[in-house]
Structure 1
Amino acid sequence: MLIPKSFSIERKGGYSLMKKEKTTIVVAGVIIGVIAAMLVFFGNPANMGFCIACFLRDTTGALGLHSAAAVQYIRPEIIGLVLGACIVSLITKEFRPRGGSAPVTRFVLGAFVMIGCLMFLGCPFRMILRLAGGDGNAIFGLVGFAAGILTGTFFLKKGYTLKRSYKMPKLEGSIFPAVQIVMLILLVAAPAFIHFTEPDGGPGAKHAAILISLAAGVIVGILAQRTRLCMVGGIRDAVLFGEFKLLFGFVAILVSALIVNVALGYFHPGFAGQPIAHTDGLWNALGMYLAGFGCILLGGCPMRQLILSGEGNTDSVVTVLGLMAGAAFAHNFGLASSADGPTANGKIAVVIGIIVVAVIGVVNSRRKEA
């Protein structure tokens, strides 16, 4: 059988495009990994150059929504992520405000994702950075996270959906990025009603200079927006479509952060004594199982939700608010883990979360039409 020349050219062009996309994602991952490791050098907590869950938790505390004095600081990295994504989406005309897709369900899922993350003490991004720092406990988190995503993909195959979103006015999509500018002003002005962890008072007191953190957030926000980096999406796409390009980005983050950690003397392999971590393998796994399960039903990891928020997606804004509410619940009701391990309340909350997320998956699934 003869293959038309035009078909061969089209196939070759498609392969070249896919190769270019993979290269771009890997390069972005390398840059992000270096930035994350260097943020530790400039003052962020060890193995926490970037942690969306932890940083949203700190910001929630700074606003007085929880009273854990050790973790209260408006993190400029969060501000930078949203503004970076917003700026580049405006330039590329990808700023398309949309919303209205099951907001209450998204809020609840976001809250339980945060509770899962704070059981593990980190989001999927920090899970990778903990591995790059030699923290063996993150292996249990990775196994649980992958299992949660696989569970979520089961529901996707059954037709899970939170229904369509709708076009929103540009003003509606601009509110959350504008709020980030207000947050930056509050950080710099430091009025009395904003809470900050006292020096040497805990992880909230460890941070890079504002301009360094903000610039890092903007750069990562731009790269993540252009490449659609998402740990959840990477595993989901690999399972459903056999597409691994997003996973390559996170492998690049792991490798580049590892190299920088080794060079700076931050690589300390082992399980005991790891910074801001505990050694309970079962609950590390179950916490990230809940996070992975919830994220797959939301359509993206916490970082991806912030990037989409910068693009004007109000469904993702609601999810971020849910994440912040989850952080407040976790610290107000003793659900968050510590270096001493998980709490009894936290274990109960994670089990309840897994049940709730499973119910949401069942209720919002339907059989595909034959």
Structure 2
Amino acid sequence: MSGKKGIIFAGALVGILSAILVKFGNPGNMGVCIACFIRDIAGAVGMHRAPVVQYIRPEVIGIVLGAFLMAIGSKEFSTKGGSSPFIRFILGFVVMVGALMFLGCPLRMVLRLAGGDLNAIFGIAGFAVGIVVGIFFLNKGFTLKRNYKLSNFEGYLFPVVNVALLGLLLAAPAFIFFSKKAPGSLHAPIWLALGAGLIVGVAAQKTRLCMVGGIRDLIMFKDSYLLTGFLSIFVFTLIGNLIFGKFKLGFVGQPVAHNDALWNFLGMVLAGWGSVLLGGCPLRQLILSAEGNIDSVMAVLGMLVGAAFCHNFSLASSGKGPTLNGKVAVIIGFIVVLAVSYFNMEKSMNFKAKGDVNVNAD
């Protein structure tokens, strides 16, 4: 899969599979949502005790393993790390705060719109604004410095952890939590979800699917390659939803969503800004982690801890709307990403000549 035909095909696969997963049991407009699924996994392993969002999502496992196998097969697996790992952890945490204010990652934002949820329009607008702010700091010389080659053993650990999660899902021991009511209790059959995840992982690894990269590249380089993939996801998810009777146009009564326009907007401003600094959206961070990028693993771990924190301290929104704690957390998140942006700007652009790069850039 190369060129625009390849990424359109990849987007079509993701869109069709997303519609199928909802048809066969996933929550509405949640065929694939990296933020929501990482949150559910955090609950399943006991990191938070919100009883309605606890399930080891096979889609995430499949995405990681699919991307890992594709990277190995194409000789693109390379273990590296050391590019401001703790800052990346913090940024992953903050991105999750923004995503759970909106109730979805950038991928679910597109899926929600394809399901008729017009609240996603405010999320998309906020996401674009956040990316523009992030680009401003990139142009001012923002960098998280270079990374370093590490042993392949360390790179294999993240896929191994996901295999272990699959084992826990299948064995369902007593110490793993599973929701008894929605949305955590809503899921497609395990092998269908795992297979869909494998396909998404392969496609995303091969084509570098990334919503952040799509908007960023269009603004900075007038390159629409990555954005074309997400337009394809929207079109084919919409078609699938119409076929399966899952399309519902409106602002009110949408599945796992609220209609507070301001905080949908601000949540995704935060998620977009933080993702630009990381060099990719949550889906892209999973793919990079599977390719051996330990800095991306740190970002994913930040998202995992962030998701647990959001539910332990009532930061996450619900269908009733955002919480006061969540609003305060988003404001604090803006302060954090502003500080990270400002204090990591190079005073001179000469760092490029020395080989320092934002290693997670697509």
* TM-score, structure 1 normalization: 0.94
Which of 54, 69, 76 pairs up with 2:36? 54
Which of 205, 226, 230 pairs up with 1:225? 205
Equivalence for 2:338: 358
What secondary structure sits across from 1:34 in the alignment? helix
Asked if the contact 1:82/1:177 (under 8 Å) is kept, the reply is yes
Deviation of 1:120 (Å): 0.2
Amino acid corresponding to residue 220 of structure 1 in structure 2: V
Equivalence for 1:281: 261
Which of 205, 210, 219 pairs up with 2:185? 205
What secondary structure sits across from 1:357 in the alignment? helix
Which of 211, 228, 243 pairs up with 1:263? 243
Aligned-partner Cα distance in 2 for 1:100–1:67: 33
Residue 100 (structure 1) aligned with residue 82 (structure 2) = yes
Aligned-partner Cα distance in 1 for 2:57–2:229: 24
Aligned-partner Cα distance in 2 for 1:75–1:260: 22
Aligned-partner Cα distance in 2 for 1:193–1:135: 36
Equivalence for 1:190: 172
Aligned-partner Cα distance in 1 for 2:321–2:64: 32
What secondary structure sits across from 1:106 in the alignment? helix
Aligned-partner Cα distance in 2 for 1:339–1:195: 22
Deviation of 1:368 (Å): 3.8
Equivalence for 2:315: 335
Which of 154, 163, 176 pairs up with 1:181? 163
Residue 34 (structure 1) aligned with residue 16 (structure 2) = yes
Aligned-partner Cα distance in 2 for 1:238–1:288: 18
| Stretches of structure 1 lacking an aligned partner (at least 5 in a row) | 1-16
Aligned-partner Cα distance in 1 for 2:74–2:242: 37
Aligned-partner Cα distance in 1 for 2:337–2:88: 11
Equivalence for 1:145: 127
Asked if the contact 2:141/2:349 (under 8 Å) is kept, the reply is no
Asked if the contact 1:61/1:68 (under 8 Å) is kept, the reply is yes
What secondary structure sits across from 1:338 in the alignment? coil
Asked if the contact 1:158/1:368 (under 8 Å) is kept, the reply is no
Equivalence for 2:137: 155
Asked if the contact 2:21/2:31 (under 8 Å) is kept, the reply is yes
Equivalence for 1:121: 103
Aligned-partner Cα distance in 1 for 2:210–2:133: 17
Deviations 1:39-86, CA, capped at 9 Å, x for gaps: 001110010000000000000000000010000000000000000000
Aligned-partner Cα distance in 1 for 2:349–2:119: 43
Residue 23 (structure 1) aligned with residue 23 (structure 2) = no
Deviation of 1:202 (Å): 1.7
RMSD over aligned CA atoms reads 1.0
Give aligned pairs, total: 350
Aligned-partner Cα distance in 2 for 1:322–1:158: 26
* TM-score, structure 2 normalization: 0.96
Residue 239 (structure 1) aligned with residue 209 (structure 2) = no
Write out aligned runs for 1:166-177 (5 A).
166-177=148-159
Equivalence for 2:54: 72
Asked if the contact 2:19/2:240 (under 8 Å) is kept, the reply is yes
Amino acid corresponding to residue 230 of structure 1 in structure 2: C
Alignment identity in percent? 59
Equivalence for 1:130: 112
Deviations 1:201-257, CA, capped at 9 Å, x for gaps: 121100011100000000000000000000000111111111001000000000000
What secondary structure sits across from 2:184 in the alignment? helix
Amino acid corresponding to residue 223 of structure 1 in structure 2: A
Amino acid corresponding to residue 305 of structure 2 in structure 1: A
Amino acid corresponding to residue 329 of structure 2 in structure 1: A
Structure number with greater Rg is: 1
Deviation of 1:367 (Å): 3.7
Residue 88 (structure 1) aligned with residue 70 (structure 2) = yes
Cα gap change, 1:174 to 1:272, in 2 (>3 Å) = same
Asked if the contact 1:76/1:217 (under 8 Å) is kept, the reply is yes
Moved over 6 A (4+): none
What secondary structure sits across from 1:204 in the alignment? coil
Aligned-partner Cα distance in 1 for 2:132–2:221: 13
| Stretches of structure 2 lacking an aligned partner (at least 5 in a row) | 351-362
Deviation of 1:95 (Å): 0.4
Asked if the contact 2:62/2:197 (under 8 Å) is kept, the reply is yes
Equivalence for 1:3: none
